[in-house]
């Protein structure tokens, strides 16, 4: 179980919250007192499981299906959230996928476009749609989930995914400066190899080697990522912006 923070009265959108890191972030924010919009696209049953975990804690949440690579669907999701909760305080851009393992020669235009859309365009669009609301509110938290792959170039046929996450890191720094005058902070959290379906799928053949080369000699847990996100969402983190926090076991 991730740590609990003081987020009473806050409202959060967590994209890609139907499994793995996204689910842990959603449940952590809910446990800490925030109402949570559990975003999903295809994994409706997973989103329902996330809701069930939140409801079991007697906390407030709703699931909203939206493709966060499409502006119109993000606008509709935000409108639905505002209709239900009247405000939004926290945006966690977690949704993403590596699409498939591929060498440079094997990366098709479609795979490249999917990777950029899912991992970078989605962060841009969600932040762009939320920015006017945060500005009017004169407060807000944007927390982007990046990846260690951006630092190593996606070793293991993930160049497309790594390039997108590198863009997330640059976007985070630039957006933090643009929104700072409105009391909106923007930070990134960079997981290493975490025990999630994502890494079981895209790093399954290399997990033993990765763990061996990790100073702490283990994979991380989704709750360890969620704890950093929870902290960055609080008032205790109000003077932190434009930063990228590595949760990677020392890699």
What residue has token string 């005058």? Answer: 181
186: enclosing H helix or E strand: strand 184-191
Q: How far apart are CA 184 and CA 181, in angstroms?
A: 7
Contact 50, 63 (CB under 8 A): yes
Residue among 40, 85, 148, 161 flagged as catalytic: 161
| Residue 55 is among the residues annotated as catalytic for this protein | no
DSSP string, 208-246: HHHHHTSTT-S-B-HHHHHHHHHHHTSGGGTT--S-EEE
- CB-based burial of residue 208 (10 Å sphere; 0-12 exposed, 13-18 middle, 19+ buried)? exposed
Q: How far apart are CA 134 and CA 220, in angstroms?
A: 32
Please list the active-site residues.
Answer: 161
């Amino acid at each position: 179980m991730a740590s609990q923070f003081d987020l009473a009265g806050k409202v959060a959108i967590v994209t890609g919250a139907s499994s793995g890191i996204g689910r842990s972030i959603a449940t952590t924010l809910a446990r800490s007192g925030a109402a949570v919009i559990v975003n999903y696209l295809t994994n409706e049953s997973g989103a329902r499981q996330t809701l069930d975990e939140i409801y079991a804690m007697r906390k407030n949440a709703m699931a909203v299906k939206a493709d966060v690579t499409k502006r119109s669907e993000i606008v509709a999701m935000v409108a639905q959230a505002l209709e239900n909760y009247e405000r939004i305080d926290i945006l966690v851009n977690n949704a993403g996928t590596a699409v498939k393992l591929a060498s440079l020669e094997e990366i098709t235009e479609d795979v490249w476009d999917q990777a950029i859309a899912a991992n970078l365009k989605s962060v841009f669009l969600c932040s762009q749609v939320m920015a006017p609301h945060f500005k009017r509110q004169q407060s807000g938290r944007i927390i982007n989930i990046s990846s260690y792959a951006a630092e190593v170039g996606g070793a293991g046929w993930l160049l497309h995914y790594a390039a997108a996450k590198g863009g997330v890191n640059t976007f985070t720094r630039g957006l933090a400066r643009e929104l700072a005058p409105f009391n909106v902070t923007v930070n990134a959290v960079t997981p290493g190899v975490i025990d999630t379906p994502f890494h079981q799928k895209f790093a399954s053949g290399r997990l033993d080697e990765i763990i061996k080369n990790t100073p702490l000699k283990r994979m991380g847990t989704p709750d360890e990522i969620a704890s950093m996100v929870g902290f960055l969402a609080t008032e205790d983190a109000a003077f932190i912006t434009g930063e990228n926090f590595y949760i990677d076991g020392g890699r």
